[in-house]
Structure 1
Amino acid sequence: MNTSKIAARLAELCRQGQFETAQKELYANDAISIEPHATPAFEKETHGLDAIIKKGHKFESMVEQMHSFTVSEPLVAGNSFAVIMGMDVTMKGHDRMNMSELCVYEVNKEGKIVSERFLM
C-alpha cells in the first residue's frame, strides 16, 4: 500500500472510531508515538505497537464523553502525511473542551506507519 492509500485508510478508520484497528492494520511493530511533551498521563515518547495500543486504551479510559470527533483529508508528501484531528470532549473530572491537533505520520518502504507525532 502506498502512502496516499495508507493516509486515506487511517483517516477512514479514525473517523469511524476504529483507532486500534487502524494501529493493528497500518502500524509497524516498532512504531513510535511522540507527544508534544510528557504529561502525568503520558510519556513524551511511546515505543512499539503494543505500547501504542495500551496508550490508546488509557486515553479512552480518561474520556467521560466524546461529543464529536473529526479528521481532515490527509495531506501527503513523499513518505509522510498529516491530518488535523479535532475533538469536542469531556474528560473525566474536567470541563468540556475542544482540542485540535496536527498529526504527522511517516511510512516505511514496507508500507507501514513507523512514527506518529502530535502537535497542538
Structure 2
Amino acid sequence: MTVAQIASRLAEYCRNQEFSLAQQELYADEAVSIEPADVPGFEKETKGKEALREKDRKFNAMVESRHGTTVSEPLIAGNAFSFVLTMDIKLKGGDRQTVTELCVFTVKNGKIVSEQFFM
C-alpha cells in the first residue's frame, strides 16, 4: 500500500472507532507511539505492536461511553501523514468531554512505524 492508501484506510478505521483493527492491519511489529507528556495513566512512549495493543485495551477500559468520532482528511508529505481526530467520550467516573488531537504518522515498507499525538 502507498502512504496515501494507508492514510485513507487508517482514517476510515478511526471514523468507525476500529482502532484495534487498524493496529492489526496497518502497523509494523516495531511501531512506536508517542503521547503528549501530560496524559495521565499512559507512558510517554510505547514500543512494539503488542504494547500498543495493551495501550489500546487500557484506554478502552477507561471509556464509559462513546458519542462519536470525527477524522479530518489526511494530509500527506513524503512518508508521513497527519489528520485531526476528535472523540466525544465519557470516561468512567468523569464528565463527557471532547478530545481533539493532531495525529502524525510515519510509514516505512508499507506499514506505520510511528504515531505521535499532539493536543
Q: TM-score, normalised by structure 1?
A: 0.95
- Please give the alpha-carbon distance, in whole angstroms, between the structure 1 residues aligned to 2:100 and 2:81: 17
1:1-120 equivalences under 5 Å are: 1-37=1-37, 39-108=39-108, 110-120=109-119
What one-letter code is carried by the residue in structure 1 that aligns with 2:88? D
* Contact kept in structure 1, 2:32 and 2:45, CA below 8 Å: yes
- Please give the alpha-carbon distance, in whole angstroms, between the structure 2 residues aligned to 1:13 and 1:39: 23
Deviation at 1:98, TM superposition (A): 1.0
Question: Equivalent pairs: percent with the same residue?
Answer: 55
Deviation at 1:49, TM superposition (A): 0.5
- Please give the alpha-carbon distance, in whole angstroms, between the structure 2 residues aligned to 1:118 and 1:92: 22
Stretches of structure 2 that go unaligned for 5 or more consecutive residues are none
What one-letter code is carried by the residue in structure 1 that aligns with 2:17? G
Size of the alignment, in residue pairs?
Answer: 119
- Please give the alpha-carbon distance, in whole angstroms, between the structure 2 residues aligned to 1:78 and 1:36: 24
Deviation at 1:39, TM superposition (A): 4.1
4+ aligned runs moved over 4 Å, structure 1 = none
Q: TM-score, normalised by structure 2?
A: 0.96
State which drifts further: 18-27 or 32-41.
Answer: 32-41
- Please give the alpha-carbon distance, in whole angstroms, between the structure 1 residues aligned to 2:35 and 2:103: 10
Deviation at 1:86, TM superposition (A): 0.2
* Contact kept in structure 1, 2:81 and 2:106, CA below 8 Å: yes
